[in-house]
Amino acid sequence: MIVASFILFLAIFLGVGIASSFYAKHSRTDYYLAGRNVAPWLAALSAVATNNSGYMFIGVIGFTYASGLSAIWLMIGWIGGDFIGSLFIHTRLREITERTHEASYPAVIARWHENDTFAVWRRIAAVVMLIFLGAYAAAQISAGGKALQGTLGWHPDIGAFLVAAMILAYSTAGGLRASIWTDAAQSLVMVLAMALLFAVAVAGQGGFGASIAQMHAVPGFLDLFPDDLLFPGALGIGLFVVGWMFAGFSVVGQPHVMVRFMALDDPKNIARTRAWYYSYFTLFYALTTGVGLLSRLYLPDLGASDPELALPTMALELLPAALVGMILAGVFAATMSTADSLVLSCSAAITHDLLPARRESPLELKLATALVTVLALGIALGDSRSVFQLVILSWSALASAFAPLITIYALNRKVSEFAAVLAMIAGVGVAIVWRAAGYHDTVYEGFPGIITGLAIVLVSSAPATESKFTASDAPVARSAEP
């Protein structure tokens, strides 16, 4: 029954993605940006689903299982930092996308100011994207494999192959539009599955009061702050919280998420998109954190094996088979919705930014997508690190690479290409060294990485002289796309 339910929901998601191919216009802008014609609610649900992904289902629940209540700062900081970035960056990014007619995230940044091309920065950015988005995609594929392992007892490699095959099927069929459509469908399944599992788990413990009482019995589980902070007292707590806010702010440096806002139908609709985005994001994140806390009560011995199997294992214990299949399909849809976005961003980096001559015929776009999918699958099959750790490493490196420059640009300042390259390399380097030194356990490594890059571009920046672009400046007639 579990397998039948799983296949049914998965077939629905796959059908939605493939159906999007009937609207394809066979241009690079349509393939990579869905024709820049995505409605606010659809862009918002897609961005949340892409942001959350298998990392939310598998990684965050496992992290909450292991860390306890202190994991709530991941939710508070993440959403708070994300919101701050959205207030001044998203609209400008969409406006510049309209002006430049570029189809990739680094290409839009490279041509942010009308007289800049930043050819060297753009190619280095493409390499950074390939490395870390590829690792990120591998983490999503791995998450799908873990979900099948925990629920059906299948070898995780089987799930990894299945995720990769489905990504390839509808990514090549409909490009970003396929990803966005399936995001909307699986968003509803995601929140329904989390709400249902949370309600059943609370009822099984005898209600909220009984659940909290049992959590108090686990030493340190309900401590608001961890006891292994890098610095003692208020300083350590402050850095801990601010670090997670920088993790949320890091969204502006994630090409696979920001491309949703680049694809929005009108820059004037950013406020409506934001309302949809944060309403859904807050609800889903709160439910996920609650499930993670409750999983410690139901599965006290899971920490000795793999806490990231908490969700599928708990679903098996508490829910009927048909609903377990729905949750499993939701995890798969979540991993695929993010993984295909990552794959498409990598494909754009290859065809649009890295190669000396752009290769953007429909066949070449799809071949690049297939190549990236195969490489991500290879990483997933060969890497044994946890989904959470692999995602955070990739997330922080991308944020350190791109957030400083796009932030300074959104504030209407400009820098030289040399400073932009130096900020990107230094930011990524600091983030990696910080993690290697083990400081990431108490302060998110993207914090020092972004600060380093910001310091470089801020010191070398100057006010931009060209006028600010607005939606009304967009040309009425657009030139034909290759």
For residues 430-449, average pLDDT: 88
Q: Which are the contacts of 168, defined by CB distance < 8 A and separation ≥ 6? A: 369, 370, 373
Output b/e per residue, 431-469; b: 16+ Cβ within 10 A.
Answer: bbebbeeebbebbbbbbbbbebbbebbbebbeebeeeeb
**Residue 456, pLDDT score:** 97
Average pLDDT over residues 450-477: 72
Taking CA atoms, 156 is separated from 265, 382, 440, in Å, by: 39, 12, 28
Mean pLDDT of 42-47: 92
Pick from 103-107, 253-257, 320-324: least confident: 320-324
Domains and CATH numbers, the chain: 2-226+254-387 (1.20.1730.10)
The answer on pLDDT for 36 being more than 70 is yes
Mean pLDDT of the residues in the chain:
84
pLDDT at residue 151 greater than cutoff 70:
no
Mean pLDDT of 472-478: 41
Nearest to 308 by CA among 295, 294, 321, 326: 295
Query: pLDDT at position 166, please?
Result: 81
* Cα atoms in the 13 Å half-sphere on the side-chain side of 255: 37
Which pLDDT value is given to residue 326? Answer: 81
From 105, 86, 87, select the one nearest 96 (Cα to Cα).
105
Q: How many beta carbons lie within 10 A of that of residue 353, not counting itself?
A: 24
Instruction: Return the pLDDT at 290.
Output: 93
What are the Cα distances from residue 467, in Å, to 100, 106, 408, 435?
15, 22, 16, 41
For 156-202, the pLDDT digits (tens) are 888 888 888 887 887 777 788 888 888 888 788 778 888 989 999 99
CA distance 402 to 353: 15
> What average pLDDT does the segment 58-79 reach?
85
Q: Residue 388 has what pLDDT?
A: 57
Q: What is the mean pLDDT of residues 403-407?
A: 97
Model confidence at 467: pLDDT above 50? no
Above 50 in pLDDT, residue 461? yes
| Share above pLDDT 90 across residues of the chain, in percent, rounded to a whole number | 37
pLDDT at residue 466 in the model: 57
* pLDDT range class, residue 477, cuts 50, 70, 90: very low
pLDDT number for residue 200 = 93
What's the CA gap between 164 and 478, in Å, rounded? Answer: 36
The pLDDT of residue 147 is 67
pTM beyond 0.75: yes
